[in-house]
A and B are shown apart, each in its own frame.
Chain A
Amino acid sequence: MATTTTAPVVTHQDAHQTNTGISNNKLAMWLFLGTECLLFGGLISTYLLYKTRGNGRTLPTEVFDIPFTSVSSFVLLMSSLTMVLSLSALRRGEVERSRAWLLTTAMLGGVFVGGQVYEFTTFIREGVGFTTNPASSAFFTLTGFHGVHVSLGILMLMSLVVASAQGKLKQKNAETVEIIGLYWHFVDIVWIFIFTVIYLIPAE
């Protein structure tokens, strides 16, 4: 039975009950992340199809700097930890601490995006540009889409930081932080896939 009598897992007191016990906002975010899986699925498939199609020019796999990308991947994964710490602080009512962790998360995300910009410019200097060959087009499109997702996440986190500084983000709004956290963790998980499939598995 879809409707149950169990208490809903919502953090703020004035949330109305819904049939599923999950708030509308959170359910919508989960569904949205479902659609995002298909988006990244399509992009990852495209890259896998094209990863060895160099058209006689340099492939992305030939210019990868695995140690560098490993460090930026680690930074991105750590930002998931700080995201959770922020949520946990806000649930306990520690607004300032929560804001500090939000800011940290956004900054870690910024470091990742900065690393990606550096990586892209290096690759272009080494002869692998967006239009070089099907493999490079697929590479830049996939990682670029991911980078845009991280950037939008940073924008949302900074909006939360501003809201928090204005005193609008209180303990009862913890679910908002949780929902944006869902998005942030999703973007991280997608990166785990991308890093494994694209960087770590060697092309034949």
Chain B
Amino acid sequence: MAIIEQPLAIETSEAPVAQRPLGSLTRPQGGNGWRDWLSTVDHKRIGIMYGVAAMFFFIVGGFEALLLRTQLAFPEQGFLSAQLYNELYTMHGLTMVFLFVMPLAAAFANYLIPLQIGARDVAFPRLNALSFWVWLSGAVFINSSWLVGGGGPDCGWFCYSPNSGVTFSPTHGVDFYAVGLLIIGAASIVSSLNLIVTVLNMRAPGMSLFRMPVLTWMLLVTQFLLAFALPVIVVALFLLLFDRVFDSQFFDPDAGADPLLWQHLFWIFGHPEVYIIILPSFGIISEIIPTFSRKPIFGYSFMVFSGIAIGFMGWGVWAHHMFVSGIGPISVAAFSLSTMFIAVPTGVKILNWLATMWGGKIRFTTAMLFAVGTVAMFTIGGLSGVTHAIAPADTQQTDTYYIVAHFHYVIFGGGVLGLMGGAYFWWPKAFGYMLNETRGKIHFWLMLIGMNLTFGPMHVLGLQGMSRRIDTYSAGFGFDLWNLVATIGAFTIALAVAFFLYNIFASKRDAKHLPPPGPDPWDARSLEWMVPSPAPVHNFDEIPTVESLDEWWYRKYGYDEDGNVVRIATIEEAAQTGNAEGVHLPSPSFWPLVVAVGLPLIGYGIIFNLWLCLIGGLLTAGGLFAWVLEPVDDPDTGHGHDDHHDDHDGDDEAMVGAVADGEEG
């Protein structure tokens, strides 16, 4: 194919600096000092930081959930006040969605996309660092509401108006909600643009779009959803913030405003958000299941196209969150139908995973157990989702625990289990040691049993009429038993997470006495397994030329005359050695961090004192200009202008504009 001859962005930059070994670059390499992490632009380190921060917030959000479940364990408990209960469920939802699942998916996207498409880094390494630091600053900002905002936001994660107005929510909690999500949204928009450009522009020779692994495809669809859904919530959050801080009239029914405006804007973002959460997990299990079934994914193009179809159809179903808001029978009928339709591409995916396993030589490793668990649990959540599509039934279910049960089966069962499976699968690639399989399986079963104990009874509670978001209930409604079971389940999940953390440290300790896992411990299929574990800072010694889907597999295996699979090369023969001779990488930078630190100051300024805005604004604007004027590559690396990394030059004025706009728009 002609494209193979085409020189690619990264590849052409290798030759001229052959005399300079990697160690003499200023890029933090090998060093683990805190400065190296603060200034890193390496997509792998950024991915790991996303992962660590996401796990931290998983624990925070989980702790909030335990408090909620403790309050609900028995009827009429006074463990939490009603106000604190409101704040806790709001922050639980926000934390789990924006500070855990999304960044954990971003961790996989950052770490794996360049490796899976055969690139050395993302298209804009410094913007990548910016995305992470801005996200983290937003996460810290929104949680600082507990300390300085007079309590957390108390309006639920979808924060319907007019409940979100000053009248009904007089503390600063909702201000922190609006500003915090704006900061987090800006980070996600920047990150999505960066990753889309990476996938479209930086693929290795021969890596056509339809040779990309399904994970990369699903992450690409996710990034498109992020790029186009987040601006809508940005609009809604600005309107909310203006209402609360500058007394505008967007959501004041007394002034003739329409509270449904918020619901529409929120759910036009909010429903694609559901797929933003679930598609990365679909991608992850689409890598795990073929590997441990020793079969190619069944119906690759169907998998890809159904993912794209979900991405498109996800925009046409938002009003099914609003069936009881009085949007009219025609709208209800239309959104009912579109919601039932979106089950079709999802069903295609489930059948394809099953067909991939069918007749395969299945190895039930921990990662595979999590992947199978994801398929099963997501199917349950998907089926209860179809019951919401039937509007008359939904009228009964809205705002009951049935809804809570549904979306936890989708997000926890479909999203979190898949991400956990991904953690076990790619752990050796990222950290160079394997997580213990026995402990891993205990972790899996605890988590699976825990989630079913927690969320299964909520179906019953909801159908019995227990409404969500009430801080307590009276005895004798038949709620007692199932609430207690759900609370026991929640603590079982907590135990599972604690066991996972224990497994991480115990496995690291054990690894000292075990042989290293090598580049490809699972006999896997895609390019990231071609490089040593942990992946070297430059990723590929030589950018591979790709000839087929599952390229790495076909470098190890071929077919004999009878069509049987035969090994043609050992892993050691086919893998790269991690020799960085002549590789040229972008230099680290502190400016993304400086820019990110300015944003929460602007946020505090809007809420408390406009002078703080000035300080924050100067930091951010100064950081951006310093960033632009800083050379992309360290001048000490001493190479001529001809091998200048234009592909990393994304930080010129054009992108400053993009970033600057990302903050306010």
Contact = CB atoms under 8 A, between A and B. Distances in A.
A149 to B, nearest CB: 7
Interface in B183-211: 189, 193-194, 196-197, 200-203, 208-209
A22 interface: yes
Interface string A104-123: 00000000000000000000
Contact of B665 (A18, A27, A149): A149
A31 B193 contact: yes
B580 to A, nearest CB: 20
Interface string B632-665: 0000000001101011011011111110111011
A160 B653 contact: yes
A201 interface: no
Interface stretch (A34-42, A61-69, A80-88): A34-42
A17 B12 CA distance: 9
A14 B196 CA distance: 23
A146 to B, nearest CB: 10
B235 A176 contact: no
Interface string A21-50: 011110111011011101101110010011
Contacts of A153: 657
A183 to B, nearest CB: 6
B228 interface: yes
A125 B656 CA distance: 36
A149 B660 CA distance: 10
Contact of A27 (B201, B228, B268): B201
A100 interface: no
B626 to A, nearest CB: 13
B236 interface: yes
Contacts of A17: 6-9, 12
Contacts of A152: 657, 660-661
Contacts of A19: 8, 200-203
Interface string B207-231: 0110000000000000000011111
Best-surrounded residue of A16, A36, A41, A42 (most CB of chain B within 10 A): A16
A16 B16 CA distance: 14
Given A19-B200, A25-B655, A29-B654, A5 B193 contact: no
A134 B227 contact: no
A180 B239 contact: no
B493 to A, nearest CB: 36
Interface in A118-165: 130-134, 136-138, 140-141, 145, 148-149, 152-153, 155-156, 159-160, 163
Interface in A2-24: 2-5, 12, 14-20, 22-24
A75 interface: no
B655 A28 contact: yes
Given A39-B665, A42-B232, A134 B256 contact: yes
> Chain B interface: which size bin?
35 or more
- Interface SS majority for chain B: helix
A46 B239 contact: yes
Nearest to A183: B657
Contact of B647 (A18, A29, A179): A18
A32 B8 CA distance: 24
B265 interface: yes
B57 interface: no
Nearest to B117: A19
B248 interface: yes
Contact of B255 (A1, A3, A31, A134): A134
Interface in A68-99: none
Contacts of A179: 652, 654
A14 B16 CA distance: 14
Contacts of B63: none
A28 B227 contact: no
Interface in B1-19: 2-3, 5-10, 12-13
Given A19-B203, A28-B658, A133-B249, A50 B257 contact: yes
Contacts of A35: 189, 193, 227-228, 230-231
Contact of B123 (A28, A34, A42, A46): A28
Interface in A167-190: 176, 179-180, 183
B250 A46 contact: yes
Given A42-B232, A134-B249, A14 B209 contact: no
Contacts of B193: 28, 31-32, 35
B234 interface: yes
A52 B508 CA distance: 65
B544 to A, nearest CB: 15
A3 B208 contact: yes
Contacts of B230: 35
Nearest to A176: B652
Contacts of B242: 130, 137, 141
Contacts of A46: 235, 239, 250, 261, 265
Contacts of A134: 249-250, 252, 255-258
A27 B6 CA distance: 19
A136 B10 CA distance: 51
Contacts of B196: 27, 31
Contacts of B628: 159
B197 A31 contact: yes
Nearest to A23: B646
Best-surrounded residue of A18, A36, A140, A179 (most CB of chain B within 10 A): A18
A130 B13 contact: no
Contacts of B255: 53, 55, 133-134
B250 A38 contact: no
A32 B261 CA distance: 25
B7 A43 contact: no
A145 B665 contact: yes
Contacts of A49: 258, 261
A5 B5 CA distance: 9
Interface in B241-261: 242, 246-250, 252, 255-258, 261
Given A5-B2, A32-B661, A141 B231 contact: no
Nearest to A137: B248
Interface of B: 2-3, 5-10, 12-13, 123-124, 189, 193-194, 196-197, 200-203, 208-209, 227-232, 234-236, 238-239, 242, 246-250, 252, 255-258, 261, 265, 268, 625, 628, 641-642, 644, 646-647, 649-650, 652-658, 660-662, 664-665
**Those 5 A-B pairs whose CB atoms lie nearest each other, nearest first:** A42-B235, A179-B654, A137-B248, A18-B201, A38-B231
Given A12-B646, A28-B124, A46-B261, 18 more contacts: A3-B3, A3-B203, A5-B5, A18-B201, A18-B202, A25-B652, A28-B123, A29-B655, A53-B258, A55-B256, A131-B247, A133-B256, A134-B252, A134-B256, A176-B653, A176-B654, A179-B654, A180-B654
10 contacts: A4-B3, A5-B3, A19-B203, A25-B652, A27-B197, A31-B227, A50-B261, A131-B247, A137-B242, A149-B665
